[in-house]
Amino acid sequence: MPAPPGAVYGLHIKAADDVWAAGETHSGAAVSHWDGQAWEQTIVSGFPRSAVGSVLAVSKTEVWAGGTAGFVGGPWANRFHPCWSAGTGRPGAT
């Protein structure tokens, strides 16, 4: 498995084809997912100049990340995409 993009500060390994990485890039805080073939990265809105240092995948549709500006998380539709609940820690909150 290649390294995830950007700096990585935390990992949650559920299986060889289900790995989550928390960190940052030049664009801001980021969470990446490894599906066994490639990394897919999402810049976490609500953390513009911060990093996320930990990530927890509760299920395939609920992922939480914590960092220097608080924590975010929420349910995800059929694929990995940004639908974070910035700052509240509640799925779907704004």
In sequence order, the 6+-apart residues with CB closer than 8 A to the CB of 37 are 17
How many C-alpha atoms does 17 have within 13 Å on its Cβ side? Answer: 3
- Do residues 18 and 35 touch, judged by C-beta distance below 8 A? yes
pTM beyond 0.85, yes or no: no
pLDDT digits (tens, 9 = 90+) for 29-82: 888 999 999 999 988 776 656 778 888 888 777 888 887 666 566 543 333 434
79 forms beta bridges with none
44 forms beta bridges with none
